[in-house]
Amino acid sequence: MPIYSAEHRRLMEMFYPDHHQEYSEVLASLGTFMEKELLPISPRIDTGEVKMGGPRKALLKQGICRISFPEEYGGLGLPFSIYALAIEMLGTADASTCLSVEIHNAVAEGLNLFATEAQKRAHLPRLLSGESLASFTLTEPASGSDAGTMATTAEKKGGEYSINGSKMFITNAGDADLYLVFAKTRKGPSCFIVEAPNPGLSFGEDLRKLGMRGSRTSEVIFSDCRVPEADLVGEEGKGADYAKEILHGARIIVAALNVGIAQIAYEKSLSYARQRKAFGKTISEFQLIREKIADMKTEIGAARLLYLYASRIKESGGDYSSEASQAKVFSTEMSLRACDSAIQIHGGYGYTTEELHRHWRDARLLTIGEGTSEVLRMLIARRELTMSR
Amino acid sequence: MKIAVCVKHAVDETELKVDSGGNPQLKGAPTKMSTFDKNAVEEALRLKAAHQGEVVILTVGTPEAKKTMKEALAMGADRGVLVSADPMAMDTRRTSELLAAALKKGGPYDMILCSEGSSDMYSGLVPPMLGELLGLPYVGYVKKVDVSGQSAKVERALEDSVEVVEAPLPIVVSVVSEINEPRYPTLIQIMQAGKKPVEDLTPEALLPGAGPPVPLVKGMKAQAMARKRVVFEGPPEETAKKLIDALAAEGVLPR
């Protein structure tokens, strides 16, 4: 099945009756690139035989991160949903690359929202073209979604800030050229651009993760890391708000990524169920296998519509934070179910084949990363309970 | 250099379905730029990068062929010429006459590039016919092109040998897929391709007074090919030898 499928095309027709052809051309072309250049090497990206840097650069060069940005910074000025769909496709082609690209794009998104004109002109064109890579540096060893408790500090000394502390579980650490760093000044959490190399910037060992093994993740350490005053993003003390806003958008994207992972697990299950025989017939003829296939298909479709719904609210300028959380909770948990079913359908081969169980390992990250399911349920329920009184 | 590339919007042969009677389902079948035509476009773009100039895409096609035109323009071609006619409803000769007339109208070109054959019909007849109709030398099945000054040195990939030919420009060249790796248009190029100029021409304007085209194909049937299904059993050393002997007997091993 082509990565940009007939189903995607139909959704574009429904959502964008006036522009769907153009959007479909963009997505179909990206899909072809992913099918030929990424999907075939995806298993070897997981095992580390192929380093992701080259393929990621080629993909960025194609323009995936240009999609939703304004034209004056090198973007294509297309709706956020087009980018979200591109990310779903990339999740199907290779989840590790997708995670890396998604984080990179989220930083660009943050700069576009909160940086000064000069900062945008200096950084966005290079980020959107893939000339430089970005990393989102918020989480700490003892501080996650409760960003206010961060221990990393930024102290103003003359015309500079000195950043001290350490950040944990940072995607693209070591590979990135630009780090969007959150650190506390006297006014509270604030946001900075730190460009690598910087003598005060160093990295821990690459973490040995359960999944997403193609992408680099490690601790990022700041010791008297000096950045010019001009690299403060927005206002001092507003960093937590900025982080929250960036994460709302990223949750839609993580939901899309997980739909992509579920999709590839589903397609593999479908073809295996059709050819594997037991008791004299293909297992696709057994009702209990059919139930799994039907549930996977149904839930993938539902998750896709939910993230696109959140994305369309974002495009229209409305408050989409709860919908983004709903999409992420549902999609990440759905993809775990789907990847689990895929292993079950493949039986012993499912449990023993990297090529198959890696999808479950990849999916497993995202009920945790960028807001755990538990925290997001809190947000969803809070809005429901305070609004409907 | 002014380079023309003739491309065809064709049924995607990898997605073609056949009904129970063996008839290919052409209506509503997915379509795309004929596979090897991308190699011809790529070669033109490489020549342009080395020698400057212009790359013009020509196609005879229905309105749907605009998709292929746009893709070739997105790859980097400068402009297009679309002759509105259905190549599936006419013989190859008429397609070639239309292309030749359009090439004469917009010419002269230094090189006219085609692929060795379209991925739907694969007759491979258009490039030599263009050579004949335009009175130009034709070099087919080319895997390498070097242009210097007013002549081209090309390598032809033949069945079991490579023939090196030198020809004065202008020439008609048909390329094989091994000549290059076609580039992917970037998203920016795709968005901008729609703004590049495409000239619309009609068969009536190009070939006034020409009679109706001869329909070449009345119907097509897909044939089921029987496989030999030979299974060799025994230890690997023996089965490997049996396999080699069998392949040799089929004449598929290199001499």
**pLDDT of the residue at B104:** 95
- Note if A370 is an active site residue: yes
Domain hosting residue B145, numbered range = 2-206
**Integer Rg of chain A from CA:** 21
pLDDT at A373 over 90: yes
Helix then strand count (H, E) for chain B reads 7, 11
Catalytic residue among A140, A219, A236, A370: A370
Domain hosting residue A80, numbered range = 6-132
Same domain as A143, residue A116: no
Q: Considering the domain boundaries, does residue B116 fall inside one?
A: yes
Q: Number of folded domains in chain A?
A: 3
Same domain as A257, residue A226: no
Strands (E), chain A: 134-137, 153-157, 160-171, 178-185, 188-195, 201-203, 217-228, 232-233, 277-278, 281-282
Same domain as B142, residue B171: yes
| 8 Å CB contact of B184 and A29 | yes
User: Residue A237's closest CA among A348, A136, A150, A354?
Assistant: A150
The conformation of residue A368, written as its DSSP 8-state character, comes to T
Q: Which residue is closest to B186 within chain A, CA to CA? A: A62
pLDDT at A389 over 60: no
Q: Considering the domain boundaries, does residue B89 fall inside one?
A: yes
**pLDDT of the residue at A29:** 94
Give the domain CATH number at A360.
1.20.140.10
H-helix or E-strand spanning residue A259:
helix A239-275
User: Residue B148's closest CA among B167, B122, B125, B129?
Assistant: B167
In chain A, residues with a C-beta closer than 8 Å to the C-beta of B187 are 26, 29-30, 62-64, 66-67, 76
Same domain as A145, residue A74: no
What's the mean pLDDT in A65-75?
97
ipTM of predicted assembly, 2 dp: 0.87
Which of the listed residues A111, A132, A153 is the one where a domain comes to its end? A132
Of A158-167, A199-208, B16-25, B184-193, the poorest mean pLDDT is in B16-25
In chain B, residues with a C-beta closer than 8 Å to the C-beta of A105 are none
Among partner residues A32, A37, A67, which is closest to B187 by beta-carbon distance? A67
Q: Considering the domain boundaries, does residue B220 fall inside one?
A: no
Q: Number of folded domains in chain B?
A: 2
| 8 Å CB contact of A64 and B187 | yes
Q: Considering the domain boundaries, does residue A1 fall inside one?
A: no
**pLDDT of the residue at B65:** 93
**In this complex, is the C-beta atom of B187 within 8 Å of any C-beta atom belonging to chain A?**
yes
Secondary structure (DSSP) of B24-54:
B--TT--EEE-TTHHHHHHHHHHHHHHH--E
Same domain as B180, residue B251: no
Residue B97: both structure tokens together: 């006459």
pLDDT at B255 over 70: no
pLDDT at B254 over 80: no
What's the mean pLDDT in A228-236?
97
Tally A–B CB contacts below 8 A.
30
| 8 Å CB contact of B187 and A63 | yes
Residues B115 and B77: their CA atoms lie apart, in Å, by 16
**In this complex, is the C-beta atom of B195 within 8 Å of any C-beta atom belonging to chain A?**
no
pLDDT at B247 over 70: yes
For residues A144 and A118, the answer to whether their CB atoms sit within 8 Å is no
Same domain as A378, residue A247: yes
Strands A153-157 and A160-171: antiparallel
Same domain as B241, residue B139: no
Partners of A179 in the β-ladder = A135, A194
For residues B102 and B81, the answer to whether their CB atoms sit within 8 Å is yes
**Integer Rg of chain B from CA:** 21
Surface-to-core class of residue B71, CB atoms within 10 Å of its CB (0-12 exposed, 13-18 middle, 19+ buried): buried
User: Each residue of B113-158: pLDDT tens digit?
Assistant: 999 999 888 889 999 999 999 999 999 999 999 999 999 999 999 9
Same domain as B254, residue B191: no
